Amino acid sequence: MATTTMHPNVQSLKICIVGAGMGGLTCALALARAGFNDITVYEMASNLGFVGAGIQMAPNMARILDRLGVWDAIFKDAVVLNETSIRQGSTDAELGHVDLKYIKQTYGYPHTVGHRATLAGELYNGCKGESDKIKFVFGTTCENMKFGPQQPSFTAVPRNSSTPPYEVRCDVLLGADGVKSNTRVAMLRDLKVDEAEVKDTGQAAYRIMLTREQLSSDPELLALIDADKVIRWIGEKRHIIAYPVSSKQIYNISTTQPDVNFAAAPSATYTTKGLKKAMLDVFGDFCPMIHRMLDLVPEGEVCEWKLRVHAPLPTWVDGSAALVGDACHPTLPHMAQGAAQAIEDAAVIAVVLEALPASPKPADINKALKIYETVRKERAETLVELAAASGRALHLGEGKAKEERDKQFAALKEGKGPVPDKWADADVQKMVYGVDCMKIAAFAVEQEFKEPSLGTSSVPT
Ligand SMILES: Cc1cc2nc3c(=O)[nH]c(=O)nc-3n(C[C@H](O)[C@H](O)[C@H](O)COP(=O)(O)OP(=O)(O)OC[C@H]3O[C@@H](n4cnc5c(N)ncnc54)[C@H](O)[C@@H]3O)c2cc1C
């Protein structure tokens, strides 16, 4: 990422980012590293306050974080996954096994897992290292976004009622405000296209973290945290995925099950405290080891998340504004690519804006953001669909389709054929991990703006 060739008029563009999630933080860091020096991130929460949960950090995510200079710090307490095992939840019998050791050699980075707080914290630390360029405004909700051919604007509403709301005008507005994005709603309204209704997936997730100490009296559970392995236990309409994080001091467990609680009381709420008995009942027919594992969750600490997505949007860009991450492509978690794709968005936005001509006009910014959309939209939406398809295959009940799926698992044992759990399939991994979206973006802007940026001369992959 060059910082020397950018014209001062480009460097000083006023860029506002709505939301300090993985997408917003990476946008800020990538833009600052590219040389932009007037970046403000608005976050409605009073601090970063990230979910206590693990996250898979695939090579396509790691490659970008490395270029941004934060990967070494994140990698320090990450766990490298060497294998994945897909098992029958009811019996713990192994259905499929995939060796992941080849990934580092093939894609330059291993498949790792870590704690969300570490990932977000190190992105934030990276931003703090650029404090002359990036400003954070916490406890402030952005509303009433306006677009159009000139500068976008919005109303910033501080949570502290003694500070009145104020208008903000900027050269570039990035809506990284998650699945419930105000920016998306306003943008679609402005473009007079149908609001993309948030779709109910009918699925919810428990997210659980057990400490090594909690597992210590159970040798079978200790063996799980000590392995370099991600395990998925599957059953009809449900599964559990689990892996060790934080240098194997924490075992991270994430489930998917039919949504009962949120469906019964639909609201804007996405998380709820659940009853431990309800959680144990959902996995009632899973094997005894899983019961012992779930039983370690203290009563009162069962937290359930609603899983929501929305239909693909007609566009992610309006004038000098663009959507990023879950605001434009929320996904079911079954490909473990939601944050990775938000991070790809952010990296590509920096590449396209970095290539703007001197004294850029709103039309140039719009052109750059349209290139961002072209590079990113189809890929991100393909992965959203793959995640949904993978969930459907994993959650099959008795019947022909399940028989076919289990034949695929059986063939896998002989080393043949596709993996029904799509994220573990080598061909899918090639498409996800083997594509360098920053190079593709650099090539695309080079064609548009005729200014070489990453030095590519033929269409990269
Ligand atoms: C169970 C589960 C497991 C997952 N596992 C993985 C995984 O292993 N790997 C992976 O890559 N991804 C995973 N994901 C997906 C990933 O968590 C999300 O895709 C990612 O966090 C989205 O980041 P974001 O920045 O786009 O949105 P968010 O993280 O939702 O951030 C949006 C931010 O904007 C703020 N905000 C919202 N509205 C406003 C406003 N109007 N004004 C100001 N601020 C606002 C919010 O407070 C929030 O901080 C998983 C998701 C789930 C649910």
Per-residue pLDDT of the chain (461 residues; tens, 9 = 90+): 554 578 999 999 999 999 999 999 999 999 999 999 999 999 999 988 766 799 999 999 999 999 999 999 999 999 999 999 999 999 999 999 999 999 999 999 999 999 999 999 999 999 999 999 999 999 999 999 999 888 999 999 999 888 999 999 999 999 999 999 999 999 999 999 876 677 778 899 999 999 999 999 999 999 999 999 999 999 999 999 999 999 999 999 999 999 886 655 545 566 777 889 999 999 999 999 999 999 999 988 888 888 989 989 999 999 999 999 999 999 999 999 999 999 999 999 999 999 999 999 999 999 999 999 999 999 999 999 999 999 999 999 999 999 999 888 888 888 788 899 898 899 999 999 999 999 999 999 988 886 544 544 555 66
457 Cβ contact list (under 8 Å, min separation 6): none
Q: Is 326 in the pocket of ligand 1 (CB under 6 A)?
A: yes
Cβ of 345 closer than 6 Å to ligand 1, yes or no, is no
Would the CB of 81 count as within 6 Å of ligand 1? no
Cβ of residue 42 lying under 6 Å from some atom of ligand 1? yes
Tell me, using a 6 A CB cutoff, whether residue 18 lines ligand 1.
Answer: yes
**Would you say 229 and 55 are in contact if contact means Cβ atoms under 8 Å apart?**
no
* pLDDT attached to residue 456: 46
pLDDT given at position 415: 79
Location of structure tokens 């020096």? 37
Q: Decide: 123 in ligand 1 pocket, CB within 6 A.
A: no
CA proximity to 387, closest of 304, 437, 346, 329 = 329
Please state, as a whole number, how many other Cβ atoms lie within 10 Å of the Cβ of residue 303.
18
| Ligand 1 close to Cβ of residue 50 (< 6 A) | no
Distance 178 CA to ligand 1 centre (A): 5
Find the 93 Cα to ligand 1 centroid distance in Å: 34
Q: How far is the CA of 21 from the centre of ligand 1 (A)?
A: 6
Q: Which pLDDT does position 263 carry in this prediction?
A: 57
Q: How far is the CA of 388 from the centre of ligand 1 (A)?
A: 18
Task: Give yes or no for residue 55 CB within 6 A of ligand 1.
Answer: yes
Kindly give the number of the ligand 1 atom that is closest to the alpha carbon of 256. Answer: 1
CA distances from 231 to 99, 116, 241, 386, 451 (A): 12, 19, 6, 19, 47
Q: Which amino acid is at 294?
A: L
- For ligand 1, whether the C-beta of 205 sits within 6 Å is yes
Q: Is the CB of 30 under 6 A from ligand 1?
A: no
The confidence score (pLDDT) of residue 87 equals 95
For 55, the 3-state DSSP assignment is strand
**CA 22 to ligand 1: nearest atom:** 25
Answer yes or no: is the C-beta of 304 below 6 A from any ligand 1 atom.
no
Cβ of residue 51 lying under 6 Å from some atom of ligand 1: no
- As a whole number, the mean pLDDT across the chain is 92
Q: How far is the CA of 118 from the centre of ligand 1 (A)?
A: 15
User: For helices 219-226 and 288-295, what crossing angle results, to 10°?
Assistant: 80
Distance 119 CA to ligand 1 centre (A): 12
Which of 44, 113, 143, 376 has the most ligand 1 atoms within 8 A of CB, as the residue to mutate? Answer: 44
Return the pLDDT at 36: 98
Looking from the CA of residue 327, the nearest atom of ligand 1 is 26
- The amino acid that residue 193 corresponds to is V
Question: How far apart, in whole angstroms, are the C-alpha atoms of residue 157 and residue 135?
Answer: 17
**Closest CA to ligand 1's atom 15:** 338
